């Protein structure tokens, strides 16, 4: 008897035909999915475009700049923003940071330390850029030239005039400010000119140092290595004390430690408020070197010199202020600021206690002044071996110091080994067995005016190797500038 076939019964080949049916339709399914994705992205881009800058805060907060990168087509084509995938090439790596650190060190001409920094890194040997940087620094180092220590010039300034209208306002102090001060704008122009001429700031201690030997300590010349065309110079600033007579005349009032750990200044404004900023040589030079690291040799800064009769750095630290309720706090703060200066590469020095001519005052007054400075200032700023003589004086003539010079011997016993007077010559350096002497050049209103008055007479112009006085001299200065 014939059996009726059940339609639900398994039929040979049915499974295979079902698989073929699904397989042939996969491309269509895949295309539909792609179209849905494309439409979603397109709609999202339209929303981003039309909302633009009016997008409510937080609406697209998840689309941060490190997730998408906007490439803006120039306006001549279209103003539509096209968002691309993340730019991983802009991600900073540890090797990038290392190379930047070494580059900054090398910019200050310390190629040995830059090379050591790279070789000491765990990334040395794994990043070819590190090997390339080392090779570059080795090549530059091989071509450095030793500088002639006897041809290192030394320039100096007093407190910088910040508000020229107040300093040059016709009162009794105007003539003094006009004569011996330099304005902030003049100082910046001087820096620019010297930088363009290839000058590089070095320390006094980069020129020579006291070293121990078989016969005791001796002043020994050092080697300053710079690229061809670079010229070393020393800078100093006298009277960094912000004296009381300067109040209200357009100067900083004191030096403080900034939030970044760098020394900066405070200044009292017309409305009585106190502001912090680049109101004198120290913070101005700090900012300049930050922008031009190749202006400083291995982190060098200027020499900062103090008297003591009213205190230092704008703090009334002299013994005559001991009855002030802030006396002890002022001394502590001044000491902290002095240490901050040292930590940032500044050299500290004596300018005598009472701003005295140490070469001519009576012997008893000479000793008393030196001892006061030792007791009231050195105790705040720490050890120093530099003295910058007031008035450009000295304790001897141009001949080398001898041990029979009792003033020299007294200063040596107090720890001084570097002695600087004032000399308008381009260079004056003298190195003896136990001292270094150097002449300093005053870059102030009087010296600039003398160059301007000299006109084309090059024999009387003393600053042209540094800058042209006519290009620097402030039009706000009263003229002529007379020495009084």
Taking residues 292-308, what's their average pLDDT?
A: 98
Instruction: Count other Cβ atoms within 10 Å, centred on residue 454.
Output: 16
| Cα–Cα distance measured from residue 477 to residue 475, given in angstroms and rounded to the nearest whole number | 6
The pLDDT value given to residue 90: 65
CA angle 388, 392, 396 (to 5 degrees): 85
Query: Which tokens belong to 375?
Result: 């007791």
| Cα–Cα distance measured from residue 333 to residue 343, given in angstroms and rounded to the nearest whole number | 15
Give exposure, 27-56, as e/b (b: 16+ Cβ within 10 Å). eeeeeeeeeeeeeeeeeeeeebeeeeeeee
| Cα–Cα distance measured from residue 433 to residue 358, given in angstroms and rounded to the nearest whole number | 22
Q: What are the boundaries of each domain within the chain?
A: 93-143, 149-472
| Cα–Cα distance measured from residue 378 to residue 308, given in angstroms and rounded to the nearest whole number | 10
Q: What pTM did the predictor assign?
A: 0.81
Q: How many CA atoms lie within 13 A of 438 on its CB side?
A: 28
CATH of 149-472, one of 2.60.40, 3.20.20, 3.30.420, 1.10.10: 3.20.20
* DSSP conformation class of 247: T
Q: Are 377 and 346 in contact (CB under 8 A)?
A: no
Taking residues 2-15, what's their average pLDDT?
A: 43
| Cα–Cα distance measured from residue 476 to residue 165, given in angstroms and rounded to the nearest whole number | 8
Cis peptide before 480 (omega within 30 of 0): yes
Place of tokens 């007031």: 390
For residue 427, pLDDT over 50 is answered with: yes
The pLDDT value given to residue 424: 84
Q: Measured over all CA atoms, what is the biggest interatomic distance in the chain, rounded to whole angstroms?
A: 150
The more confidently predicted of residues 317 and 50 is: 317
> Could you report the per-residue pLDDT of 171-216, keeping only the tens digit for each?
999 999 999 999 999 999 999 999 999 999 999 999 999 998 777 8
> Could you report the per-residue pLDDT of 236-273, keeping only the tens digit for each?
999 999 999 999 999 999 999 999 999 999 999 999 99
For residue 328, pLDDT over 70 is answered with: yes
Distances (CA, A) of 153 to 149, 222, 420: 9, 16, 12
For residue 361, pLDDT over 50 is answered with: yes
């Amino acid at each position: 008897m014939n059996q009726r076939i059940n339609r639900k019964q398994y039929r040979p080949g049915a499974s295979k035909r079902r698989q073929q049916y699904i397989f042939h339709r996969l491309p269509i399914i895949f295309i539909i999915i792609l179209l849905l994705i494309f439409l979603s992205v397109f709609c999202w881009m339209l929303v981003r475009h039309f909302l633009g800058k009016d997008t409510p805060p937080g609406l697209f907060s998840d689309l941060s700049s490190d997730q998408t990168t906007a490439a803006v087509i120039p306006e001549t084509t279209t103003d539509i923003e096209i968002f691309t995938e993340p730019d991983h090439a802009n991600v900073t790596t540890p090797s990038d940071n290392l190379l930047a650190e070494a580059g900054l060190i090398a910019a200050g001409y310390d190629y040995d330390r830059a090379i050591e920094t790279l070789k000491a890194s765990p990334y040395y040997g794994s990043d070819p850029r590190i090997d390339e940087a080392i090779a570059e620094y080795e090549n530059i180092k091989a071509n450095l030239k030793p500088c002639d220590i006897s041809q290192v010039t030394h320039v100096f300034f007093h407190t910088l005039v910040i508000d020229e209208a107040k300093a040059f306002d016709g009162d009794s102090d105007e003539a003094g400010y006009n004569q011996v001060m330099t304005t902030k704008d003049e100082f910046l122009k001087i820096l620019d000119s010297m930088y363009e001429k290839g000058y590089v700031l070095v320390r006094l201690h980069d020129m020579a140092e006291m070293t121990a030997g078989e016969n005791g300590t001796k002043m020994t010349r050092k080697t300053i290595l710079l690229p061809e065309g670079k010229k070393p110079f020393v800078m100093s600033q006298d009277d960094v004390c912000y004296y009381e007579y300067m109040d209200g005349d357009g100067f900083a009032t004191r030096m403080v430690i900034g939030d970044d750990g760098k020394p900066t200044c405070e200044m009292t404004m017309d409305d009585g408020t106190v502001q912090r900023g680049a109101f004198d040589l120290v913070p101005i030079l700090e900012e300049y070197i930050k922008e031009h690291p190749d202006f400083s040799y291995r982190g060098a800064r200027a020499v900062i010199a103090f008297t003591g009769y009213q205190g230092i750095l704008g703090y009334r630290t002299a013994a005559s202020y001991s009855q002030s309720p802030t006396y002890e706090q002022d001394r502590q703060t001044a000491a902290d600021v002095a240490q901050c200066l040292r930590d940032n590469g500044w050299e500290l020095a004596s300018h005598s206690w009472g701003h005295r001519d140490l070469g001519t005052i009576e012997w008893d007054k000479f000793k008393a002044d030196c001892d006061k400075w030792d007791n009231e200032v050195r105790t705040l700023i720490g050890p120093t071996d530099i003295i910058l003589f007031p008035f450009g004086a000295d304790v001897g003539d141009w001949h080398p110091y001898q041990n029979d010079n009792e003033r020299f011997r007294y200063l040596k016993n107090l720890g001084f080994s570097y002695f600087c007077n004032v000399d308008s010559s381009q260079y004056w350096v003298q190195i003896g067995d136990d001292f270094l002497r150097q002449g300093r050049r005053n870059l102030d209103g009087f010296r600039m005016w003398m160059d301007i008055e000299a006109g084309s007479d090059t024999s009387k112009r003393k600053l042209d190797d540094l800058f042209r006085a006519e290009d620097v001299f402030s039009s706000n200065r009263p003229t002529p500038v007379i020495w009084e």
